[in-house]
Amino acid sequence: MRRGGKSVSKENLPQKICLKCERPFSWRKKWERDWVEVKYCSDACRRNVISKKPGPVREG
Ligand SMILES: [Zn+2]
């Protein structure tokens, strides 16, 4: 019989939704320190996010 089961397996990594592409991504080793602050699945997504700047923006 088994009792208690709170061990975390490697396949049970935490996940987040990328704020840019809105796709789920899993915890990665490189984020182990920054996981709380990770918001994007990749650097590409992070770069593509247009930071809010004052002034008018004409694009497109
Ligand atoms: Zn993304």
> How confident is the model over 9-36, as pLDDT tens digits?
667 899 999 999 999 999 999 999 999 9
Cα Rg of the chain, angstroms = 17
The conformation of residue 32, written as its DSSP 8-state character, comes to T
How big is the CA angle at 39 (ends 36 and 44), to the nearest 5 degrees?
A: 135
Averaged over 34-56, what is the pLDDT? 86
Distance in Å, CA 56 to ligand 1 centroid: 26
Ion ligand 1: residues, Cβ under 5 Å: 18, 20-21, 41, 45
Distance in Å, CA 24 to ligand 1 centroid: 8
Distance in Å, CA 38 to ligand 1 centroid: 11
> Residue 9 has what pLDDT?
62
Percent of the chain with pLDDT over 90: 58
pTM of the model: 0.62
Helix (H) or strand (E) holding 15: strand 15-17
Tokens standing for residue 16:
């987040």
